[in-house]
Chain A
Amino acid sequence: MGDHPHHDDEHDRPLSGPALRVKALESLLTEKGLVDPQALDELIDTYQTKVGPRNGARIVARAWTDPAYKARLLADATAAIAEFGFIGRQGEDMVVLENTSKVRNVVVCTLCSCYPWPVLGLPPVWYKSAPYRARAVIDPRGVLKELGSEPAPDVEVRVWDSTAELRYLVLPERPAGTEGWSEEQLAEIVTRDAMIGVAQVRR
Chain B
Amino acid sequence: MNGAHDLGGMHGFGPVEIEKGEPVFHSRWEARVFALNLASGFHGKWNIDMGRYAREQMPAADYLATTYYEHWLFGLEKLLVDQGLVSAKELQAGRPEAKADAARAMHVADVAPFLRNRRAARLDADVAPRFRAGAPVVTRNLHPVGHTRLPRYARGRRGVIHRDHGVFIFADTHAMSRDRKPQHCYSVRFSARELWGPEAAARDSIFVDLWDDHLDPG
Interface, chain A (partner B; CB < 8 A): 7-9, 11-12, 14-15, 18-19, 21-29, 31-36, 38-44, 46-48, 51-52, 87-89, 92-93, 95, 108, 110-113, 121-122, 124-126, 128-138, 140-141, 143, 146-147, 153-154, 156-166, 193, 198
B73 with A157: CB separation less than 8 A: no
- Interface positions, chain B 98-116, Cβ under 8 Å from A, are 98-100, 103, 105-108, 110-112, 114-116
> Is B16 an interface residue when CB atoms closer than 8 A count as contact?
yes
Option from B64, B151, B165 in Cβ contact (under 8 Å) with A130 = B64
CB-CB under 8 A from A47, the residues of chain B are 24, 34
On chain B, the number of residues with a Cβ less than 8 Å from chain A's Cβ atoms is: 100
> Is B213 an interface residue when CB atoms closer than 8 A count as contact?
no
Interface, chain B (partner A; CB < 8 A): 5-11, 13-19, 22, 24-29, 31-36, 38-40, 43, 52, 55, 62, 64-70, 73-74, 76-77, 80, 85-86, 90-96, 98-100, 103, 105-108, 110-112, 114-122, 149-151, 153-154, 165, 168-169, 171, 185, 187, 192, 195-196, 200-201, 203-211
A48 with B121: CB separation less than 8 A: no
B94 with A44: CB separation less than 8 A: no
B73 with A21: CB separation less than 8 A: yes
Q: A36-B106, A147-B16, A156-B204 are in contact. Are A28 and B209 (CB under 8 A)?
A: no
